[in-house]
Structure formats: structure tokens, C-alpha cells
């Protein structure tokens, strides 16, 4: 090797490709490249939606209608199982299921779309070098934009509910709503982190996303969506915290349904799961992503 | 690395590990593990101990039979495939046109695909948007086709857009893998001119093509690869001639043993 070797860190144009073990590439340049191409992820998510709904005017409507109808079905099931309830309690239950389901679906679509983003990106991955984490990231952005319009739907249901049943306990606007952006960010980051794990697994085992769909269903039943977080007492409450979406979903319920702030325990849980899944998922994904092109 | 080099390849080897067994699924993995069987894999050595220097401003042609490892070499230079052994040093911004269409999404219009391709290769939105018209003009598709979904394109039209995107990136190093095969005579002429223009600006171009006339026409140096090794490196007409001889008779050049 000649003596004039420049350091690739300082000469942006000089790139050295060398063999790697399953270890991380230099992280600073990776994150810089990632940040530099964030517009690509945003555009990709927009175009993916466009491609998907290009021929259907009702695509966007369906995105809202689908969870809304499901929420109604779950509501009926829950009410029937409990043997009916008073009407003002009914609307509370419906609202809880609705916002829980919308939030859960946000995480679910981050994870399931992200899981296939690498295997579905075949051509792009074989023909262009870029930080691969941009593909799951783009799925997370898509999921976020699909989640946003469900919030007005929830609010509309609550407003109508309060008007029809004035005795219901659901609060109107409260200051605790200020926690909502934080909670949504935690859901997005947790979803993104977990999608990195499953996207990597899906490269090695192509049936991961099939298993994932069963797994997500069980996960939904294990989460405080169809039941209330306060139904758990004592050590049973650990169930809430070993579930990556447990703390965010019970915070969601506190803020939206009860109009109170999340408990400190829930906040710690939200942050721990968000950072934990981002770090673990990021390590798992980035340390293996140079292998993807060979395995696709 | 000396300043005048665009690419230096040192003792490069690339191996693909292929699972011989059926599908790579978790189910199969568990089944196999429960029976105590190991995963059967086969290793394909696509590139074997290749060493090469390429100065700035050269136009290199790569010839070789199917499966010789040409596309693999291009992908590793682009930083897509990591080396199994050895290393590659690249000095300059790379633009790739590896196989047709840089992952074009068939449901999107040509224009949307141009924007997406540009962003993926690291351009800013302003840069790529200021260039879309220029790219569309260079591709010269029939009326209004640039705003139609790519699935309605003929393969030549597809190739035109892809090539226009790749050259518009003003790359220091342009990698073209079978990029010119689908264009018609007039576009071929135009793209040849464009490439000569790029050479004049001392940009480096690597062309993989089975159209040997293209190699003869455009390149100032050619290499011939066979089963992952470098057989010959020299003037394009000499390399192409020996390669043609090999295709007819099946003998490698006599000096091959020395290399
Ligand atoms: N994704 C892959 N997985 C496993 N093996 C591969 C893969 N891609 C290529 N190979 C193997 O690597 C070798 C070289 O392939 P490569 O695509 O580089 O050939 P090529 O010279 O481009 O051929 P062609 O002229 O047909 O394009 C071949 O033996 C091929 O089987
Ligand atoms: Mg090839």
C-alpha cells in the first residue's frame, strides 16, 4: 500500500471496502449518510402509498374504516362477553378500544411493513449502496402518516358520544393531552426499533413475516387494548411492562380516556422500551446489513 | 494510494454462500435442527484474487462469459457487496447503472422514479428536481411518457431513462453493467457521445457488455475475466480478439499460466 493513503474519515470521496465480521461499520459516517438521505425515506414512503392506492380512490378512506369497523366488532364482543353494560360505560369502553387499536395498529404497521422492506427492496439493494436502515425507516414514516388521520376519527367518535350520552366520564380537552406527541414518538421509535429486528430476521428466514402476523394477533390480546390496564393488580402488572407496547398503551388510555398524566412508572417504561428497541434493533440490523446484498 | 488512481483493487476475493437446501425458513431451520442435520451450503467463488489499478479518466471494458463474475466485481466496486478477502479503494463519487433500472418501481411514473433514484444516490431534492427536466429531455421518450407509470414502458424506454439518470449524476466513476443493450441505434449514438464527453472531463467509466463492438469502440483498456480470475488485461482490440478466439476454440491464451 502506498504511503499517501488518505484517511477516509477526512476525505469524503475516498472509500475503502474491506471484509467485515459481524460487527458495526463506523457509526458516525453511517448516521451521516442516513441523515443525508432522509429525504429518500420520506419520498419512498409517499411514493409507496401512491403506488398502492394509485388505482383506488377509497384507499385512504379504507385505512380509517378498517380499524373503525374492527373496533366496533371488538366492542360488541367485549360487551356481549361481559353481559351488557350501562350506556355511559359503553361509550368509555368503545373509546378505549378505539384509541388503543389505532395506536397498536400504528406500531403493528411499522413492524410488519418494516419487516418485509428489505426482502421486498431486492433490486434497490442489489443495485445501489445506501444505509439499508432507510428502508424500514420509510415504512415507519408510512405507518405514521396512516396513523395521523385516525386521530380525528377518534375525536369525532368521542364528541358524538359525549353529545348522545352527556353523563359519560370521558374528559374533554385536558392539559394531559400535551403528553400525546411524546407517546406517539415512543410508539414510532419502538416500532422502528423492532422492525429493524424483524427485517433482519426476514432476510435469513423468509417465513418471519408470516409468523409475525400470528404473533401480532397474540400481542394485541396481551396488550391493554381489549381490556383495561387497571384490571391488573400487584405482580400481575409486570405483564404491562414486559410488553414493549404495554407502557405506551396504558399511558394512551390514561391520557385519552381518563384525562390524567401517565404515571412515572409508565413514562420510564415508554422511554426504556423505545431506546432499548432502537439500540438493540439498530445493532442487530446495522451489524448485518452488509450481508443483505449477498442473501437477497 | 497514488493521487491519479480512481480505483485500486488488492487481492480481491468474493464468495457467495448458497443454501443448497430448499427454502430458508424458520420452519425448515427448526426441523433440521431437531433432526440434528447441519445446513448444507455451497460456496461459489465469484472472484478469485483479483488485483488491478485503474487511473482516473480511463474507460475500462470488462468482457467474459456468463457467470464470469463481472456483475459481482461491479457491485463490489460500488460498495454493495463486501469483499470476502482483500480490499477495494475507491476515490470519487460513484454512479451505478447495474443491470437495467436502479430498482425502478413499475407503478410509479418515470419522473417519480428519477426523483427516487436521485435521492437514493445521495442527491438533495433541489439538485434532483433541477435536473429532472434535463434527464427527461435526454431520455427523449415519446410524448408524455415520462409521466406515465414505468410499467407501460418498453425495455428500451426503460433503459433510456435509467441511463439518463446515471449520467446526470455527474459521477467521478460511472459503472455501466449491460446498460446499453436495449437502446436503439439513435440512442446508442447519443449515449456514446455522452460517455465520450464524460471521458473528456476525466471521469472514469467501467463498462460491462457482451456487445464487443461497444467495448472496442469506447474503451481504452479492457480486461477479460473467466471464472472469477483475470485472464487478460490490455488494449481492447487485443483482448476482444483473444476472447473471441476463446469463445470459438475454447482455449485460454498461452500466457495465461504466467499471470
Ligand atoms: N446473488 C447471488 N447468490 C449466489 N451466487 C451468485 C449470486 N450472484 C451471482 N452469483 C454467482 O456468482 C458467479 C458470478 O456471477 P456474476 O453475476 O458476477 O456473473 P456475470 O459475469 O455478471 O455474468 P453475466 O454475463 O451472465 O451477467 C456465478 O457463478 C453466479 O452463479
Ligand atoms: Mg452480469
State mean pLDDT over B228-254: 85
pLDDT at B109 (0 to 100): 85
Q: How many residues in chain A?
A: 296
Ligand minimally distant from the alpha carbon of residue B225: 1
List helix spans (H) across B121-171. Answer: 125-139, 155-168
What would the pLDDT profile of A106-153 be if each residue is shown by its tens digit? Answer: 999 999 999 999 988 777 788 788 899 999 999 999 999 889 988 988
pLDDT tens per residue, range B1-37: 777 888 999 999 998 877 776 677 788 778 877 887 7
List B residues 145-164 in contact with A (Cβ-Cβ < 8 A): 149
Q: Which three cell numbers stand for residue A21?
A: 465480521
- First CA to last CA distance, chain B: 23
pLDDT at A60 over 60: yes
Instruction: Output the pLDDT for position A245.
Output: 93
ipTM: 0.81
Check A13 against B116: CB less than 8 A apart: no
Beta bridge partners of B43: B17
User: Residues lining ligand 1, CB < 6 A?
Assistant: B 16, 18, 44, 46, 64, 66-72
Chain A residue whose CA is closest to B24? A205
Atom number, ligand 1, closest to the C-alpha of residue A296: 1
The residue whose CB lies within 8 Å of the most ligand 1 atoms, and thus the one to mutate among B12, B14, B47, B70, is B70
The tens digit of pLDDT for each residue in B147-186 reads 888 888 888 888 888 888 888 877 788 888 877 677 788 8
CA A29, distance to chain mean position in Å, is: 26
- Of the residues A47, A128, A200, A208, the best mutation for testing chain B's interface (the one with the most B CB atoms within 10 Å of its CB) is A128
Residues of A in contact with B92 (CB under 8 A): 13
First to last CA, chain A: 33
Please tell me the residue having the least CA distance from ligand 1 atom 11. B46
Distance CA B151, CA B155 (A): 10
pLDDT of residue B22: 65
What's the average model confidence in pLDDT over B239-253? 82
Strands (E), B20-122: 41-55, 59-63, 85-91, 94-98
* All three cell numbers of A283: 445493532
Single out the residue of B1, B248, B116, B146 nearest to residue A130, CA to CA: B116
Average pLDDT over residues A265-293: 92
| B218 and chain A in contact, CB less than 8 A | no
Write down the pTM of the prediction. Answer: 0.86
Confidence of residue B215 (pLDDT cuts 50, 70, 90): confident
**% of chain B beyond a pLDDT of 70:** 90
Which residues have C-beta within 8 Å of that of residue B17, sequence separation ≥ 6? A294, B41, B42, B43, B44
8-state DSSP, B222: E
Cell of B28: 425448515
Which ligand 1 atom lies nearest to the CA of residue B225?
21
Q: In what order do the strands lie in the sheet with B229-234?
A: B94-98, B173-177, B204-208, B59-63, B221-226, B229-234
Please give the mean pLDDT across all residues of chain B.
Answer: 83
Domain spans in chain B, listed from the N-terminal domain onward: 5-31+42-256
Helix (H, G, I), strand (E, B) or coil at B20: coil
Q: What distance in Å separates the CA atoms of residue A231 and residue A258, rounded to the nearest whole number? A: 15
| Per-residue confidence (pLDDT) for residue B33, from 0 to 100 | 79
Of B91, B108, B122, the CB nearest to A13: B91
Taking only the tens place, the pLDDT of each residue in B33-75 is 788 777 677 888 899 999 999 998 889 999 999 999 998 999 8
- Per-residue model confidence as pLDDT tens digits over A63-82: 778 878 888 888 888 777 77
What DSSP element (H or E) covers B10? strand B5-19
Q: Give the distance (Å) from ligand 1 centre to CA of residue B182.
A: 21
- CA count, 13 A, side-chain hemisphere, B41: 11
B189 by Cβ neighbours in 10 Å (0-12 / 13-18 / 19+) ranks as exposed
Residue A5 has a pLDDT of 37
A77 or A43, which is more confident: A43
The pLDDT, as a whole number, for residue B54 is 92
Report pLDDT digits (tens) over B79-123: 888 888 898 998 877 766 654 455 667 778 888 888 888 888 778
- List the one residue out of B169, B173, B161 whose CA is nearest residue B127: B169
Q: What is the CA radius of gyration of chain B?
A: 20
Yes or no, beta carbons of B116 and A207 under 8 Å apart: no
**Which residues fall within 8 angstroms of residue B195, CB to CB, at 6 or more apart?**
B59, B167, B174, B205, B218
Residue A10: φ, ψ to 5°: -100, -25
Each domain of chain A, given as residue ranges in start order, spans 24-46+58-295
Whether residues B76 and A17 touch (CB distance < 8 A) is answered with: yes
In degrees and rounded to multiples of 5, residue B54 shows phi and psi of -130, 115
Query: b/e per residue, A206-219, with b = 16+ CB within 10 A?
Result: bbbbebbeeebeeb
Cα A107 from Cα A143, distance rounded (Å):
8
Q: How confident is the model at residue A53 (pLDDT cuts 50, 70, 90)?
A: low
Domain B5-31+42-256, CATH number (from 1.10.3720.10, 3.40.50.300, 3.40.50.2300, 3.10.20.600)? 3.40.50.300
Give the closest-approach CA distance of B81 to chain A in angstroms: 6
Amino acid at each position: 500500500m502506498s504511503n499517501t493513503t488518505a484517511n477516509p474519515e477526512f476525505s469524503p470521496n475516498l472509500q475503502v471496502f474491506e471484509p467485515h465480521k459481524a460487527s458495526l461499520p463506523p457509526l458516525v459516517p453511517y448516521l451521516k449518510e442516513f441523515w443525508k438521505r432522509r429525504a429518500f425515506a420520506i419520498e419512498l414512503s409517499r411514493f409507496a402509498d401512491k403506488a398502492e392506492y394509485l388505482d383506488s380512490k377509497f384507499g385512504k378512506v379504507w385505512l380509517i374504516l378498517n380499524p373503525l369497523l374492527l373496533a366496533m366488532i371488538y366492542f360488541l364482543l367485549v360487551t356481549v362477553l361481559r353481559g351488557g353494560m350501562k350506556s355511559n360505560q359503553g361509550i368509555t369502553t368503545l373509546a378505549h378500544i378505539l384509541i388503543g387499536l389505532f395506536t397498536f395498529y400504528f406500531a403493528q404497521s411499522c413492524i410488519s411493513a418494516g419487516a418485509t422492506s428489505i426482502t421486498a427492496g431486492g433490486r434497490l439493494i442489489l443495485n445501489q449502496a445506501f444505509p439499508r436502515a432507510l428502508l424500514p425507516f420509510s415504512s415507519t414514516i408510512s405507518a405514521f402518516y396512516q396513523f395521523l388521520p385516525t386521530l380525528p376519527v377518534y375525536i369525532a367518535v368521542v364528541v358524538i358520544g359525549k353529545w348522545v350520552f352527556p353523563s359519560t366520564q370521558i374528559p374533554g380537552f385536558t392539559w394531559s393531552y400535551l403528553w400525546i406527541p411524546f407517546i406517539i414518538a415512543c410508539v414510532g421509535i419502538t416500532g422502528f426499533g423492532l422492525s429493524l429486528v424483524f427485517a433482519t430476521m426476514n432476510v435469513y428466514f423468509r417465513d418471519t413475516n408470516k409468523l409475525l402476523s400470528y404473533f401480532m394477533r397474540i400481542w394485541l390480546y396481551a396488550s391493554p387494548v381489549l381490556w383495561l390496564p387497571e384490571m391488573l393488580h400487584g405482580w400481575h402488572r409486570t405483564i404491562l411492562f414486559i410488553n414493549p407496547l404495554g407502557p405506551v398503551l396504558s399511558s394512551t388510555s390514561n391520557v385519552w380516556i381518563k384525562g390524567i398524566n401517565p404515571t412515572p412508572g409508565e413514562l420510564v417504561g415508554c422511554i426504556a422500551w423505545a431506546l432499548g428497541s432502537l439500540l438493540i434493533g439498530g445493532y442487530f440490523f446495522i451489524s448485518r446489513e452488509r450481508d443483505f446484498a449477498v442473501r437477497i | 494510494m497514488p493521487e491519479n488512481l480512481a480505483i485500486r483493487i488488492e487481492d480481491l476475493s468474493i464468495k457467495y454462500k448458497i443454501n443448497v437446501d430448499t427454502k430458508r425458513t424458520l420452519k425448515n431451520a427448526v426441523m433440521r435442527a431437531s433432526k440434528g442435520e447441519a445446513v448444507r451450503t455451497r460456496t461459489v467463488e465469484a472472484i478469485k484474487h483479483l488485483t488491478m489499478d485503474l487511473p482516473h479518466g480511463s474507460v475500462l471494458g470488462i468482457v467474459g462469459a456468463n457467470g464470469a463474475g463481472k456483475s459481482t466485481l461491479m457491485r463490489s466496486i460500488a460498495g454493495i457487496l463486501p469483499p470476502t478477502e482483500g480490499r477495494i479503494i475507491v476515490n470519487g463519487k460513484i454512479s451505478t447503472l447495474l443491470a437495467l433500472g436502479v430498482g425502478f418501481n413499475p407503478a410509479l411514473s418515470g419522473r417519480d422514479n428519477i426523483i427516487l433514484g436521485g435521492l437514493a444516490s445521495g442527491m438533495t431534492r433541489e439538485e434532483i428536481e433541477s435536473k429532472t427536466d434535463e434527464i427527461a429531455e435526454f431520455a427523449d421518450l415519446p410524448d408524455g411518457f415520462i409521466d406515465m407509470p414505468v410499467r407501460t414502458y418498453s425495455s428500451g424506454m426503460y433503459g433510456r431513462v435509467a441511463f439518463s439518470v446515471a449520467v446526470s449524476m455527474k459521477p467521478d466513476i460511472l459503472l455501466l453493467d449491460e446498460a446499453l443493450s436495449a437502446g436503439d441505434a439513435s440512442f446508442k449514438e447519443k449515449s456514446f457521445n455522452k460517455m465520450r464527453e464524460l471521458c473528456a472531463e476525466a471521469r472514469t467509466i467501467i463498462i460491462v457488455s457482451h456487445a464487443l463492438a461497444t467495448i472496442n469502440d469506447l474503451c481504452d483498456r479492457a480486461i477479460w475475466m473467466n471464472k472469477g480470475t483475470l485472464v487478460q488485461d490490455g488494449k481492447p482490440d487485443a483482448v476482444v480478439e483473444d476472447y473471441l478466439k476463446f469463445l470459438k476454440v475454447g482455449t485460454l491464451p498461452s500466457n495465461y499460466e504466467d499471470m
